[in-house]
Amino acid sequence: MPDALLGVDALSIAYRSAKGETRVVRDLTFRIDEGEIVGLVGESGSGKTSVALALLNYLPRGGRVVTGDIRYRDQSLLTASRRELRRIHGRRIAHIAQDPASSLNPALRVGLQLEEGMLRHLGISTAEARNRALALLEEVHLRGGERILQAYPHMLSGGMQQRICIAMALACDPDLIVMDEPTTGLDASTEAAIFDLLRELKAHRRLSVLFISHNLAAVRGMADRVVILYGGRCMEHGPTTTVFVRPLHRYTQMLLNSLPTMRGAATGDIDMPWQAARAPAEGCPFRDRCDLAQPECGQEQVLVEVAPAHGSACRRWQELPAFTVTVPNAANGGDSVPGDWNDNDVPSPPGREAVIAVRELTHRYRNSLLAAHSRATRLSLDKVSFELRAGEVLAIIGESGSGKTTMARCLVGLAQPHSGSIVVGATDVAALRRRPLAIARNLQIVFQNIAGSLHPRKRVGTILERPFLLYERRHATDDQLRDLAHSVGLRAEMLEKRSGRLSGGERQRVALARAFAPRPAVIVLDEAFSALDVSMKMKVRNLLQQKQSELSASYLLISHDLPLVRSMADRVLVLFQGWVCEVGQRRIIEAPPYHPYTETLVWSALALESLKPSTFELRPETSADTGTGAAGCRFHQRCPRKLGTICEREAPPQRQAGPDHTIACHIPVAELATLQHAEWLPRRGAEAVS
Amino acid sequence: MKALAKDPLFVVALAVLTLHVVLALLATHVAPYPFDQMHYDAAMKPPSTTYWFGTDRYGRDVFSRVLYGGQITLAFGFGAVAVCFLVGLPAGLIAAYFGGIVDQVIMRIMDVLMSFPTLLLGLLILIIAGPNLVNLILAVGLVYCPRTTRVVRSAALAVRQSTFIEAAQVRGERAPYIIVRELLPCAWGPIIVEFCIRLGYAILLGASFNYLGLGVQPPAADWGALVQEARSYMVRAPWTVIFPIIFISTLVASLHLLGDALDEWLKEGDVA
């Protein structure tokens, strides 16, 4: 075999702490050849970021490579001198960090940061560097040339910042780019656009990329080969098309099984125990979550070559139940596009009364100082009306800044609406300063920031008992607390622990248990899934569904994760800049007609699964959405289907698109449906998916 | 707690502080003479086996006077800090929790108090109220309470942003519960440190007032007053000044070190 571009050989990484050394990566071997994208996939704590940092010689204090080697072409990066490393890093191996906002210096102009590396590594003149910088901007599809080079990072949107970071990484024409979760924190449409760009660059430049991510769909779309990490060990590796279609490790099977998708059924039927705090150090790290584990799994596992270039660390790979993922691609994608919306329309259960009725709710930020400087006074919520019915899951979707979190905060009383009403039961709570306990009891919330929503110094038992003390003025019995803990898969010993000592997944479950404790009628889930790993997401979703039938509660699911929404919600409400553009049954995100904004959301989500229709172009990014004039449609500046001046001048009408389905758009519903169906039907064969 | 016991600075500081407190409490038993007993035949004697720290110009035993002085010094130190926290703790917590206009009113009042130089404000209060131990405690407490309020407020403000405070509000908890049971337990770190350091400052300020003669009146004397009494002949009898100074400085230093060590420990506890 020829020398790889990058070879990682039996790499082990350990961190030293007061308690001794902890190995976070063990015996990891993989290679990246020229022009190849290798995906390093793992959940939090799998050690994937440590690998990236070791490649860059940037392990934090206390961390060190214990054994193994990392070779760039024929040179070991571990024994190289500082001078040699400086020549390699930045020049030959570039890095794109997770958070573009914090990897750009806010005090320096973008141009300077972009040219810096070229001046340093290539020894070219300033003028030359400037020219190359302009060419790079072109390459990453940033229009505006000089103007962007003169800008400071904060003047650019998140997507534009990440494009700048990509341009910086490309500046010295490197052989290898290490990307550590490059799109975390970006909106789906921005994320899809960035992935498009990366695919294009790969084709043009023959780039090699180490693509580190927990986003399976993105890796499936991007990578040629994948390495699946769990507990610091390689579980399975091989070509993406093999590993993600016919996985031969139970962990990979479980991951793929629990991944909600935009097409096909989300299953989640391989039932795993809850994630333990720490994977076992010896033997198969996955064995205490594996439903097929045997005592022998405690022995040291070896990677078995199950097929050429495909390895699995499962000793029982031959006995694993058959598991095949039908990759939705151009060939079979068409079949799963639901034809007409009438076909699979599940009518909403009739006669369900509303538990919460929101009428014309308007919210604006009161800080007049800030408002004076930003674009006029944009409303964060503008006359939003909807109702949450008994026993249903209503999802509110939209990009960041769409007002969905403000909506949640208004509902639970953390934000004061400007006008409008929120009727819970028979009481309008919108204007109340302090809500009656009976209403607070019935309206629980699970926050996005799980770790922060539990008092770190209190014991789990104390936290779970509080709802009983508060709402019923009595202590909970030990049995009740134990049942509550069991219902979310926590052992009774956990009740004695302080919440600050729990793992992320355990905290999430404590937060859920606390929300369930008073048996509320409504639980608001404010991006409650966004911090969870793939496998946890499905566990928590299943738990929520089971609890729903037990308590007959309604959920208000605030999320930007469309596949998840699709796997959970009964009805969906689409918000754009605080304005409801579409509301209806779940299938409004599954089949046309869509509101044009919903369409961009859906297609961004599909694009992440490499299912993008070929004729549709996402609008290029603008630096900021300028506020709209008083009258027109809010979405007209970004709308791919804008009709003309009517969209700028007149507010769109509310059109009935079916039973329980409203679209606010100037384009008639039937026309939308035709247009959007057409997007899928022709040219499907042309779009090949890697 | 284990890590704390291993910290040599903390152990030494705690030992010194304990020694001071014990000596002050047991002054009546430990001191060889009453603090005001004069030995006319032994005035201005250097340290010896009879008079460990020497004698002052009236022949009073400096060792005994320093021990009794410790009672006064520690009493007003703790007293003044108690006044500080009686005002500053609730004021700071309330200002941080409610914010807005409540915060503005409380903090602007504190700003006004703080804009006076500490000594001048204290002098003013003592001159109006008359110099005695109780007034001294009130004066020092009042002078320092804006600073305590600020520290408590900023400690609480950092916690105020946490999601668990919002979670408590959504749950329907009342403000007093949230302040005492949710906010305060997470703000203890800086508050305990403030307590130790403020105690040091209070003792120093009290000593200053006593030095100026505005505190306890002769023949009783705290460490500050001892230095003041001895000032005029300290060149001839340096021991009369040196020993009270050693006592003040070791006490204040131990309090500061204690505060630092506790701060460090609490921070680590949060990380783990």
**What are the phi and psi torsion angles at B206 (to 5°)?**
-60, -45
Tens-place pLDDT, residues A76-102: 888 888 888 888 888 889 988 877 878
Q: Which residues of B touch A457 (CB under 8 A)?
A: 185-186
Question: CA–CA separation, A328 vs A349, rounded Å?
Answer: 31
Reported confidence tier of residue A623, pLDDT bands at 50, 70, 90: very low
Tens-place pLDDT, residues A317-334: 888 887 777 655 443 444
Residue A186 reports pLDDT greater than 80 = no
Q: Which residues of A touch B185 (CB under 8 A)?
A: 455, 457-458
Give all strands of the β-sheet with A310-312 in edge-to-edge order.
A93-96, A176-180, A208-213, A37-41, A225-230, A233-239, A310-312, A304-307
CB of B166 within 8 Å of a chain A CB? The answer is yes
Which residue in B164, B170, B185 is closest to A454 by CB distance?
Answer: B164
Range ranked top by mean pLDDT from A363-372, B56-65, B133-142: B133-142
Which residue in A413, A443, A452 is closest to B164 by CB distance?
Answer: A452
CA distances to A236, A249, A292, A496, A540 from A286, in Å: 12, 10, 10, 27, 19
Put simply, the answer to whether A455 touches B270 (Cβ < 8 Å) is no
Q: Which range, of A267-271, A554-558, B87-91, B145-149, averages the lowest pLDDT?
A: A267-271
Question: CA–CA separation, A289 vs A269, rounded Å?
Answer: 14
In this prediction, what percent of chain B has a pLDDT beyond 90?
30
CB of B101 within 8 Å of a chain A CB? The answer is no
Interface of A with B in 10-39 (CB under 8 A): none
Put simply, the answer to whether A456 touches B270 (Cβ < 8 Å) is yes
Residue B160 reports pLDDT greater than 80 = yes
CB of A467 within 8 Å of a chain B CB? The answer is yes
Residue B55 reports pLDDT greater than 70 = yes
pTM as predicted = 0.81
Question: CA–CA separation, A148 vs A160, rounded Å?
Answer: 10
Question: Looking at CA atoms only, how far is residue A533 from chain B in angstroms?
Answer: 21
Please give the average per-residue pLDDT across B232-236, as a whole number.
82
A37-41 and A208-213 as β-strands: parallel, antiparallel, unpaired?
parallel
- Output A302-308 pairs: Cβ under 8 A, ≥24 positions apart: A303/A29, A303/A234, A303/A237, A306/A248, A307/A238, A307/A242
Which residue in A414, A437, A444 is closest to B166 by CB distance?
Answer: A414
Q: Please tell me the total number of residues recorded for chain A in this structure.
A: 690
Put simply, the answer to whether B167 touches A412 (Cβ < 8 Å) is no
Q: Kindly state the helix (H) or strand (E) to which residue A665 belongs, with its residue range.
A: none
For A440-495, give the DSSP string: HHHEEEE-S-TGGGS-TTSBHHHHHHHHHHHHHSSPPPHHHHHHHHHHTT--GGGG
Instruction: Find how far residue A409's CA is from the centre of its chain.
Output: 22
Put simply, the answer to whether B170 touches A445 (Cβ < 8 Å) is yes
Put simply, the answer to whether A440 touches B172 (Cβ < 8 Å) is yes
CB of A62 within 8 Å of a chain B CB? The answer is no
Which residue in A414, A441, A452 is closest to B169 by CB distance?
Answer: A414
For B49-106, give the DSSP string: SSSTT-B-TT--BHHHHHHHHHHHHHHHHHHHHHHHHHHHHHHHHHHHHH-HHHHHHH
Q: What one-letter code names the amino acid at A12?
A: S
Chain B contact probe: residue of A429, A435, A453 with most B CBs at under 10 A: A453
Which residue of chain A is at minimal alpha-carbon distance from B187? A457
Q: Which residues of B touch A444 (CB under 8 A)?
A: 170-171
Helices (H), chain B: 2-6, 8-25, 27-30, 62-98, 100-115, 118-129, 133-160, 163-171, 175-177, 184-211, 223-230, 239-271
Closest C-alpha among A391, A390, A277 to residue A44: A277
Q: What is the pLDDT of residue A341?
A: 38
Put simply, the answer to whether A449 touches B173 (Cβ < 8 Å) is no
Tens-place pLDDT, residues A512-543: 999 999 999 999 998 888 778 887 888 888 88
Put simply, the answer to whether A453 touches B163 (Cβ < 8 Å) is yes
Put simply, the answer to whether A453 touches B167 (Cβ < 8 Å) is yes
Which residue in A412, A413, A453 is closest to B164 by CB distance?
Answer: A453
Report helix, strand or coil for A629: coil
Neighbours of A96 (CB within 10 A): 24
Tens-place pLDDT, residues A119-128: 888 888 999 9
Which residue in A440, A449, A457 is closest to B171 by CB distance?
Answer: A440
Q: Which residues of B touch A412 (CB under 8 A)?
A: 170
**What are the phi and psi torsion angles at B218 (to 5°)?**
-60, 150
In this prediction, what percent of chain B has a pLDDT beyond 70?
97
Which residue of chain B is at minimal alpha-carbon distance from A442? B171
Put simply, the answer to whether B166 touches A467 (Cβ < 8 Å) is no
CB of B169 within 8 Å of a chain A CB? The answer is yes
Put simply, the answer to whether A452 touches B270 (Cβ < 8 Å) is no
Task: Put residue A231 in one of left, alpha, beta given phi > 0 → left and psi -120 to 50 → alpha.
Answer: left
Q: What does the block give as tokens for A259? A: 């991944």
Q: Which residues of B touch A443 (CB under 8 A)?
A: 170
CB of B173 within 8 Å of a chain A CB? The answer is yes
Kindly report whether the peptide bond that precedes residue A593 is cis, defined as omega within 30 degrees of 0.
yes
Question: CA–CA separation, A178 vs A38, rounded Å?
Answer: 10
Tens-place pLDDT, residues A375-391: 445 678 888 999 999 88
Match 């490197």 to its residue by tokens: A174
Q: What one-letter code names the amino acid at B264?
A: E
Which residue of chain B is at minimal alpha-carbon distance from A438? B172
Chain A contact probe: residue of B159, B163, B165, B180 with most A CBs at under 10 A: B163
Q: What is the overall mean pLDDT for chain A?
A: 82
Report the Cα–Cα distance between both ends of chain B, in Å, rounded: 13
Task: Put residue A123 in one of left, alpha, beta given phi > 0 → left and psi -120 to 50 → alpha.
Answer: left
Q: Which residues of A touch B167 (CB under 8 A)?
A: 445, 447, 453-454
Question: CA–CA separation, B260 vs B13, rounded Å?
Answer: 10
Match 């329309």 to its residue by tokens: A345
CB of A373 within 8 Å of a chain B CB? The answer is no
Q: What does the block give as tokens for A144? A: 């505006």
Q: Please tell me the total number of residues recorded for chain B in this structure.
A: 272
Reported confidence tier of residue A625, pLDDT bands at 50, 70, 90: very low
Helices B239-271 and B223-230, axial angle in degrees (round to 10): 150
Put simply, the answer to whether A453 touches B166 (Cβ < 8 Å) is yes
Question: Looking at CA atoms only, how far is residue A424 from chain B in angstroms?
Answer: 15
Q: Which residues of B touch A435 (CB under 8 A)?
A: 172
Question: CA–CA separation, A145 vs A124, rounded Å?
Answer: 20
